[in-house]
A = this chain, B = another copy of it.
Amino acid sequence: MAINLFRPDASSLLPVDGLRLGVAQAGIKKPGRYDLLLIELAPGTEAAAVFTRNRFCAAPVTVAREHIAGGRVRALVVNTGYANAGTGEEGIRRARETCAAAARLLGCSPMQVLPFSTGVIMEPLPVERLIAGLPACAATLAPDNWLVAAEAIMTTDTVPKACSERLELAGVPVTVTGIAKGAGMIHPNLATMLGFIATDAGIARPLLERLTRQVADASFNCITVDGDTSTNDALVLMATGRAGVAFTREDQAGFDALREAVIRVARWLAQAIVRDGEGATKFITVTVEQGRDEAECRQVAYAIARSPLVKTAFFASDPNLGRILAAIGSAGVEDLDVARVHLYLGEVRVAENGGRAAGYVEAEAQRVMREPEITVRVALGRGSATATVWTCDFSYEYVKINAEYRT
């Protein structure tokens, strides 16, 4: 059961002028569920994306990378069920067929379509069923389909993930709405994580590309469920420009506020992925402070957030916090002086001077461990840099879900 994450109300998801979404039950893997999403972008919309760094990236990632570099995007096609990864040349061919079919329906060039897939790896994409489902997507295109769109891209997700922000820039109301999916194979540099975020503000392409990287680093690149990096991850930012306010430079008035709004949406979606992490029962925020630089703070934070021993202790609500010290010590910070490290669980000071803190009372830590949302704070005593990552615990259910994924 997801941690403090609930099905959003459809009315809370604000349409983004210039963008329409259509879905279909294409029976790609299983019948009776939405499994295909078409997003149509009005002419003039700018889009930018970041993709997985996995060398075995999926065929749709290869094709989407090529197409987005080519010019203006007019549509996105997203299927669940099959990842079309580890499928060689035939996989590329099928991703291209998908684009061609969507282009015919919408009257644009196949190069203007980005394909995305999520699901099982190394099995052929049933592209005929996908293409057969596209007309139904086109027929249902509407600006207020965000919730069903979020449903159509789910795999092991238990809750559709979508949220909106509204802000005012130079007196003009601007909307930011996004959806995401992902629950396993989640690790920095994305995961079987798909995120699609749109705004009706206008953002010039180079600025939008920079913003996409900043947003990814502040959200989806700060989460881990199981330390695995997927073949299919992608985050796409789309700016339709229909709101009547447009940005070309970072120092333009209002851009900071827009960036913060996009980051808030992205961060909410990224945290929603962790809250819905496979088998998760606890949402854990790991903050590492007083590092020499952000990189070493992230390194220590991920060493804690990835440790199966730490994660099973959280699952059991067992303050076996020495495991956190062990994770810090093995994070690879070679000249770490453990005598200067402080560890806090919530407000409880757990460790100092290389050992248990004076005045530490296990019952207090026990109380924190029982909460569904827990903060781990580490002070390294080496500098002033900080980093935060979000993760979840490791339960029987995680093993069960992943042992039985294909059945």
Contact = CB atoms under 8 A, between A and B. Distances in A.
Interface of A: 53-57, 83, 85-91, 120-124, 184-185, 187, 189, 226-231, 306-309, 312-313, 315-316, 318, 320-323, 325-331, 333-334, 336, 338-339, 351, 353-356, 394-396, 398-400, 402-407
Contact of A228 (B89, B330, B336, B400): B330
B405 A396 contact: no
B228 A86 contact: no
Contact of A399 (B54, B396, B407): B396
Contacts of A395: 399
Contact of A184 (B122, B309, B315, B339): B309
A229 B355 contact: no
Nearest to A306: B227
5 contacts: A87-B354, A121-B320, A121-B322, A185-B309, A396-B400
A176 to B, nearest CB: 30
B355 A322 contact: no
Contact of A89 (B57, B313, B353): B353
A185 B326 contact: yes
A406 B88 contact: no
A402 B316 CA distance: 8
A394 B308 CA distance: 10
A363 to B, nearest CB: 14
